[in-house]
Structure 1
Amino acid sequence: MLNRRHLRIKVMQSVYALLQSNSDDIVKERKFLTYSINKIYDLYVLQLNLLAEVRNLAEKHQEIAKKKYLATSEDKNPSRKFIDHPFLLGLKNNLALQDYIKTQKLKNWKEDSEYVRLIWDAIRESDIYADYINSTESPSPKEDLNLISELYKNVIAPNDKLFDYYESQLITWVDDIPFVNTWILKNLKKINPNTRFDKSLLFKDKEDEEFGLELFKKTVLHHHEFMDDIDAKTPNWDSDRIAEVDFILMKMAMVELVYFPSIPTRVTINEYIEISKDYSTNKSSFFINGVLDKLLKEYTTEDKIKKIGRGLL
């Protein structure tokens, strides 16, 4: 499921897009934020379904090989260890997965089947696959799961062509792919033929579901107010020298400090410092930390910050 850090990143991107477009259409950008968040689950499903389609392609190749005029003994009696792998069969037979793909019209691997072939070729040529197929011992459940994990980490997740394909489908997926890959690896043990697939599973609870949209709305509505506070704490800085992303991250942090009473102040500051390390300049984390610390002290003195629960300040 989505963590709040990734929701913060999605909000940062939407606020940035809104400001760069010089538009005041908050409703339109809010709808796109909702859309881009929901599409994360489509990406999750597509990555899992890719494994199922690779398994289906492997089986199809075996059936074709059996019918060759000069079929070898290996063609006639191929190993079915990969095709009959419990995890892959579980995906193939998961009705909820297939229903989700149908209702959401995720036709990617039917219309762009060359990527299924690309991944199957990469798997078949890997040492991980060869070691598994050539082993004479029956794999344990742990070894079966380890195969999927290793293939995913070493063959599927780092595939540049697959990454480029997803980028061409939806630009926001560029930042979602690493998150989705980690999510899948964490979930491997839990996925079986009866696993439910539904967009509602993106969120831990209703509060998390509303968090991103509220953070976006309040950041945009209080944009100018917090800009004045930042300017007051950076008198020796020309605004042109401060990265736009830094401004956005600081405003988002200030919104959380003031308008999200259940989030501890230190959690908020640490989160935005960490995000800045990935999305802004090398010095941004130190700059943001300094400004937010000053604002936190000022807001606390002025009693602008009211947190619910002990130890949240």
Structure 2
Amino acid sequence: MLTRRHIRVKVMQCIYALIQSEDDSLEKQQKFLNVSIANVYSLYLLMLSLLLELHQLAQKHVSASSKKYLADEQDNFPNKEKFIHNKLLVQLAENTALKEALDSRKLNNWYLNEEYIKIIYKDMVESKLYQKYMQSTENSYEEDKEIVIALFKEVVAPNDKIYEYFEDDKLTWVDDIPIVNTFIVKRLKKAKEDSTFSFFLPKLLKDEQDMVYAKNLLSKTLLNNAEWEKEISAKTPNWDKDRIAEIDHILLKMAICEFVHFASIPEKVTINEYLEIAKEYSTPKSSIFINGILDKVVKEYKANGKMQKIGRGLL
């Protein structure tokens, strides 16, 4: 689920938090990093379970409407139970492994905050997407999958109330929401009628090496902070430190750390990754500034042998 770029962002957040709190405890920041990365998976489970909550609320509405004497809007549909029989939603609802994952992490957020589900449900049933789906007489897994993906993209993901809720719950989730939402859409697109329970419970990290990389990047950047400061100062003699954005400073240190301590990562990969992060998290001109500094560092380190890269993809 998480790529190396996402991991770099997590490390950046940790270093930024350390600077803001003026706490130089490496152990504390490593713990923060572990929790921050683990919380991405909790957010994934919560967003996926939100679909389950909408499905359950739809079942309650259909059940309630069947007991009414007066007709409501549901009665205008060829099959008012079409949404609750949606094959992908039923597949998720019957996924016991997903339920166990939610229970084991005590992720009962929507049970405690059901007003958010009601808000999204109202937006959903009033949407043209839902209306068109409910008017259709087609009955296929592909159609059911398409409507779930479309509703997630157009109704669920853009909902401001959900965004505000996650922002208040865990600050790091603000940056994680786009990552998780994009992953969910990609995952749902690949879903098949015979997908196993585990398909909807992917690994958070590709392998253990990703976590090792995250911890090493954090520790080596912080432990060599003074050295990286000198490098940046030497390459920016006409700049006051206060004129360099805090995020730019952090990204430069992380990139220089990768040049020196991560021999298997090509310098071009490092530069491209941090330029992309700068475009998203720092000032409009940051990527140009960072690119100029890193270019100087690479040329110097190659000349004096300080940067030794090994492995494939280095040409």
Q: TM-score, normalised by structure 2?
A: 0.94
Match of 1:263 in 2: 265
Match of 1:114 in 2: 115
Task: Give, in whole Å, the separation in 2 of the partners of 1:77 and 1:158.
Answer: 29
Structure 2 matches for 1:1-313, cutoff 5 A? 1-70=1-70, 74=75, 79-136=80-137, 138-191=138-191, 194-196=196-198, 201-312=203-314
SS of residue matched to 1:54: helix
Task: Give, in whole Å, the separation in 2 of the partners of 1:74 and 1:101.
Answer: 34
Task: Give, in whole Å, the separation in 2 of the partners of 1:76 and 1:307.
Answer: 64
Structure 1: 5+ residue stretches without partners: none
Structure 1 runs, 4 residues or longer, greater than 6 Å off: 197-200
Q: How many percent of aligned residue pairs carry the same amino acid?
A: 50
SS of residue matched to 1:182: helix
Task: Give, in whole Å, the separation in 2 of the partners of 1:81 and 1:256.
Answer: 53
> Contact conserved, 2:88 with 2:141, CA < 8 A, in 1?
no
Deviation at residue 24 of structure 1 after TM alignment: 1.4
Deviation at residue 215 of structure 1 after TM alignment: 0.8
Distance 1:304 1:76, change over 3 A: closer
Distance 1:141 1:71, change over 3 A: closer
Aligned residue identity for 1:34: N
* Residue deviations 1:201-234 (CA, integer Å, cap 9, x gap): 1011111122212111111011111110111111
> Contact conserved, 2:187 with 2:200, CA < 8 A, in 1?
no
> Contact conserved, 2:40 with 2:173, CA < 8 A, in 1?
yes
> Contact conserved, 1:62 with 1:78, CA < 8 A, in 2?
no
Task: Give, in whole Å, the separation in 2 of the partners of 1:180 and 1:203.
Answer: 13
Task: Give, in whole Å, the separation in 2 of the partners of 1:207 and 1:281.
Answer: 31
The RMSD of aligned alpha carbons is 2.0
Deviation at residue 140 of structure 1 after TM alignment: 3.5
Task: Give, in whole Å, the separation in 2 of the partners of 1:7 and 1:200.
Answer: 17
Aligned residue identity for 2:217: L
Task: Give, in whole Å, the separation in 2 of the partners of 1:12 and 1:139.
Answer: 47
Aligned residue identity for 2:270: T
More displaced, 21-30 or 262-271?
21-30
> Contact conserved, 2:62 with 2:80, CA < 8 A, in 1?
no
Deviation at residue 45 of structure 1 after TM alignment: 0.6
SS of residue matched to 1:106: coil
Distance 1:29 1:295, change over 3 A: same
Aligned residue identity for 1:91: L
Task: Give, in whole Å, the separation in 2 of the partners of 1:190 and 1:176.
Answer: 21
- Count, aligned residues: 312
Task: Give, in whole Å, the separation in 2 of the partners of 1:262 and 1:124.
Answer: 51
> Contact conserved, 2:98 with 2:201, CA < 8 A, in 1?
no
Task: Give, in whole Å, the separation in 2 of the partners of 1:205 and 1:178.
Answer: 22
Task: Give, in whole Å, the separation in 1 of the partners of 2:200 and 2:253.
Answer: 33
Task: Give, in whole Å, the separation in 2 of the partners of 1:291 and 1:19.
Answer: 22
Task: Give, in whole Å, the separation in 2 of the partners of 1:198 and 1:85.
Answer: 17
Deviation at residue 200 of structure 1 after TM alignment: 7.6
Aligned residue identity for 1:172: T
SS of residue matched to 2:171: coil
Task: Give, in whole Å, the separation in 2 of the partners of 1:77 and 1:291.
Answer: 64
Distance 1:283 1:27, change over 3 A: same
> Contact conserved, 2:79 with 2:134, CA < 8 A, in 1?
no
Aligned residue identity for 1:98: K
More displaced, 71-80 or 169-178?
71-80
Task: Give, in whole Å, the separation in 1 of the partners of 2:139 and 2:303.
Answer: 63
Task: Give, in whole Å, the separation in 2 of the partners of 1:310 and 1:188.
Answer: 33
Task: Give, in whole Å, the separation in 1 of the partners of 2:199 and 2:150.
Answer: 24
> Contact conserved, 2:2 with 2:206, CA < 8 A, in 1?
yes
Structure 2: 5+ residue stretches without partners: none
